């Protein structure tokens, strides 16, 4: 297959606390692109002073954290005149910052946990149990669930060292879920084995820029997660969320991927559960009723649009025991490792890993 870009670079590694994960993501993406017919050069970013090899026509950003997801490297690539994958600089800056993300989501009526930003541990008003987060880190780095007052000071001290302030949120008991989104050029469907799509009119639901568009879901199949448990798919039909026109001037659409449920063996989905232990259970699609699945996917689309994301992304949720969803964050450059969530959801939708990487790569032209 002839590709839009001849020679592409995959940026991996980086200078953030997530460097090790980025190296793994970048290596996997590079192989996926090669399998899809791209000529690929891998660039290990070890400082902000870097160069792109001659002949490279576009860049796949597989950098997590600072100088990867925060808009800085996007701005550098704009200056170089190189197309790149994912969201633009300003959208990346906002979505990487949990405080700015919360402000944007709240202003648009998207449900989020109650929270506050603190520079001193003595100023807290939210009672335990609670969650402490550095505002600008990813992969659960520096995040703590505090179940009693005895653990508060140590959790605050660890989180505050990253940037001098912390985000404190109420702890939402319940289920951990995530929804992946892929932007695609109009008329371009999945070519994966068992793949396919179907479109349904939304019935004119009012979702801001997402209103009165198409619903696009990947074909549902059963796949095995990181551990040995699978669940059958819930039927997703016409009362589901509006999938949406992408940028209206480009005539694009969003493909909303199946909802993934994450069940870590330990108390919560921390760094170890994500990348080390191999004991986390992933259920794709999540075993939820059709109405809840539709609500999660619809809110994911609203979040993606509200933060003006592009290309692809993943929206993380907590679902309370009463069935109320809360958005935690948008991951503008989610992981691409063997245990990563976006590739799992895409596979369930019939989109193989190589095709996933190539589809994202082809969309880089918009950021030229």
Same domain, 295 and 180: yes
Q: Which residue, among 158, 154, 131, has the nearest Cα to 142 in the 3D structure?
A: 158
CATH number for 329? 3.30.470.20
3-class secondary structure for the chain? CCCCCCEEEEEEECCCCCHHHHHHHHHHHHHHHHHCCCEEEEEEECCCCCCCCCCCCEEEECCCCCCCCCCHHHHHHHHHCCCECCCCHHHHHHHHCHHHHHHHHHHCCCCCCCEEEECCHHHCCCCCCEEEECCCCCCCCCCEEECCHHHHHHHHHHHHCCCCCEEEEECCCCEEEEEEEEEECCCCCCCCCCCCEEEEECCCCCCHHHCCCEEEEECCCCCCCCCCCCCCCCCCCCCCCCCEECCHHHCCEEEECCCEEEECCCCCCCHHHHHCCCCCEEECCCCCCHHHHHHHHHHHHHHHHHCCCCCEEEEEEEECCCCCEEEEEEECCCCCCCCCHHHHHHHHCCCCHHHHHHHHHHHHHHHC
**Catalytic site positions:** 18, 139, 275, 314, 316, 329, 331, 335
Same domain, 51 and 153: no
pLDDT of residue 137: 83
Q: At which of 149, 170, 191 does a domain end?
A: 170
Answer yes or no: is 100 within a domain: no
Q: What is the mean pLDDT of residues 137-143?
A: 77
pLDDT of residue 339: 73
The count of residues in the chain is 368
Is residue 102 left, alpha or beta, with left meaning phi > 0 and alpha meaning psi from -120 to 50? Answer: alpha
Q: What is the mean pLDDT of residues 334-350?
A: 91
Domain carrying residue 235: 175-367
**pLDDT (tens digit per residue) in 281-293:** 999 999 999 999 9
Q: Which residue, among 192, 302, 292, has the nearest Cα to 254 in the 3D structure?
A: 302
**pLDDT (tens digit per residue) in 33-67:** 999 999 999 999 999 999 999 999 999 999 999 99
Answer yes or no: is 98 within a domain: no
Same domain, 123 and 144: yes
pLDDT of residue 1: 64
Answer yes or no: is 90 within a domain: no
- For residues 207 and 350, the model is more confident at 350
Answer yes or no: is 109 within a domain: no
Same domain, 122 and 228: no
Confidence grade of residue 349 (pLDDT, cut at 50, 70, 90): very high
Answer yes or no: is 102 within a domain: no
Asked if residue 215 has pLDDT above 70, the reply is: no
- For residues 189 and 158, the model is more confident at 158
Q: At which of 170, 194, 216 does a domain end?
A: 170
d(CA 240, CA 109) in angstroms, rounded, equals 20
Same domain, 76 and 139: no
Q: What is the mean pLDDT of residues 254-266?
A: 92
Asked if residue 27 has pLDDT above 90, the reply is: yes
Same domain, 179 and 312: yes
Same domain, 206 and 345: yes
d(CA 226, CA 71) in angstroms, rounded, equals 31
Same domain, 12 and 148: no
Question: For the chain, how many structural domains are there in total?
Answer: 3
pLDDT of residue 140: 73
Beta-bridge partners for 329: 316
CATH number for 21? 3.40.50.20
Q: What is the mean pLDDT of residues 1-10?
A: 87
Answer yes or no: is 135 within a domain: yes
Answer yes or no: is 61 within a domain: yes
Confidence grade of residue 17 (pLDDT, cut at 50, 70, 90): confident
Q: Do 3 and 58 form a contact (C-beta atoms < 8 A)?
A: no
Which residues have CB under 8 Å from 302's CB, separation 6+?
Answer: 108, 110, 207, 208, 210
Same domain, 206 and 351: yes
The tokens describing 145, both together, are 């669930």
Answer yes or no: is 1 within a domain: no
Same domain, 315 and 212: yes
Q: At which of 150, 170, 190 does a domain end?
A: 170
Same domain, 260 and 356: yes
Same domain, 299 and 325: yes
């Amino acid at each position: 297959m002839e590709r839009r870009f001849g020679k592409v670079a995959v940026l991996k590694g980086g200078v953030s606390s997530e460097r090790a994960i980025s190296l793994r993501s970048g290596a996997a993406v590079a192989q996926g692109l090669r399998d899809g017919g791209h000529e690929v050069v891998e660039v290990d970013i070890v400082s902000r002073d870097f160069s792109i090899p001659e002949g490279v026509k576009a860049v796949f950003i597989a950098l997590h954290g600072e100088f990867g997801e925060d808009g800085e490297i996007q701005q550098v690539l704009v200056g170089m005149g190189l197309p790149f994958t994912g969201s633009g600089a300003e959208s990346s800056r906002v979505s990487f910052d949990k405080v700015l993300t919360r402000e944007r989501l709240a202003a648009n009526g998207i449900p989020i946990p109650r929270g506050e930003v603190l520079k001193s541990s003595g100023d807290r008003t939210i009672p335990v149990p609670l969650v402490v987060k550095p505002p600008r880190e990813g992969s659960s780095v520096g995040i703590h669930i505090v179940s009693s007052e005895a653990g508060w000071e140590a959790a605050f001290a660890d989180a505050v060292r990253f940037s001098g302030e912390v985000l404190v949120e109420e702890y939402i008991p319940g289920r951990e879920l995530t929804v992946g989104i892929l932007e695609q050029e109009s008329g371009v469907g999945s070519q994966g084995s068992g793949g396919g799509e179907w479109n349904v009119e939304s019935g004119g639901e009012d979702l801001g820029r997402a209103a009165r568009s198409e619903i696009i879901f990947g074909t549902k199949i059963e796949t095995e997660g990181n551990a040995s448990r699978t669940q059958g798919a819930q039927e997703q039909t016409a009362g589901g969320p509006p999938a949406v026109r992408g940028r209206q001037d480009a005539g694009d659409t969003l493909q909303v991927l199946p909802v993934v449920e994450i069940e870590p063996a330990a108390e919560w989905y921390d760094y170890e559960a994500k990348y080390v232990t191999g004991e986390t259970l992933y259920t794709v699609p999540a075993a939820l009723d059709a109405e809840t699945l539709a609500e999660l996917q619809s809110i994911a689309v609203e979040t993606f649009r509200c933060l003006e994301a592009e290309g692809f992304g993943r929206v993380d949720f907590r679902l309370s025991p009463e069935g109320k969803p809360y958005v935690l964050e948008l991951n503008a450059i989610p992981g691409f490792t063997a245990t990563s969530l976006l590739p799992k959801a895409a596979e369930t939708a019939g989109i193989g890993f190589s095709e996933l990487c190539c589809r994202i790569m082809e969309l880089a032209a918009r950021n030229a």
